Amino acid sequence: MASAVGLPEERELAARERVEELREVADRVLAEPAGPMAARWGSIVPVWRPALAMAALAAHDQRILTTLTEEASGGKSVMPCQEITAVLGRETVPASVKGVRSKMKRLTDRGWADEPTSGRFTLAAGPAGGP
């Protein structure tokens, strides 16, 4: 019989193992090519891991990261939200810029992008092919 102190520890260990199993399953699912179950508008941005491809993101997030990639290859490694909004072909009105800023903050929080200075974004080292 487990002691009263040992029982919570056993449960925590079992929970940690289950979380790791679920992460592995999620990585396998998200690494598969986009099909009928592809991410869509309003999808949750997954935390970036080496096993994830950009296809795991919703189309609008993919367009933003593609924009950052293309601009970086042209020598512009860091972009403000207003420029990202313009390159995406959206009107640079405050509401549109705010929407892009919100998406960029979410992508930054999840490891897909970096914000080296306030309000200016770049592709994170991992998704860009770095460490």
DSSP 10-22: HHHHHHHHHHHHH
> Residue with structure tokens 């935390």?
47
pLDDT in tens, 41-78: 456 788 888 888 888 888 889 999 999 988 888 888 89
Lowest mean pLDDT, pick from 12-26, 34-48, 104-118:
34-48
Chosen CATH of 57-131 out of 1.10.10.10, 1.10.287.1040, 3.30.70.890, 3.40.50.300? 1.10.10.10
Mean pLDDT of all residues belonging to the chain? 82
For residue 33, the model assigns a pLDDT of: 53
> Residue with structure tokens 């490891």?
111
For residue 72, the model assigns a pLDDT of: 82
Q: Where are the domains of the chain?
A: 1-37, 57-131
More confident residue, 7 or 11: 11
Residue spans of beta strands (DSSP E) within 1-131: 79-80, 113-117, 120-123
For residue 42, the model assigns a pLDDT of: 53
30 has a pLDDT exceeding 80: no
For residue 112, the model assigns a pLDDT of: 93
The Cβ of residue 57 has, within 10 Å, a number of other Cβ atoms equal to 25
Query: At 36, is the pLDDT very low, low, confident or very high (cuts 50, 70, 90)?
Result: very low
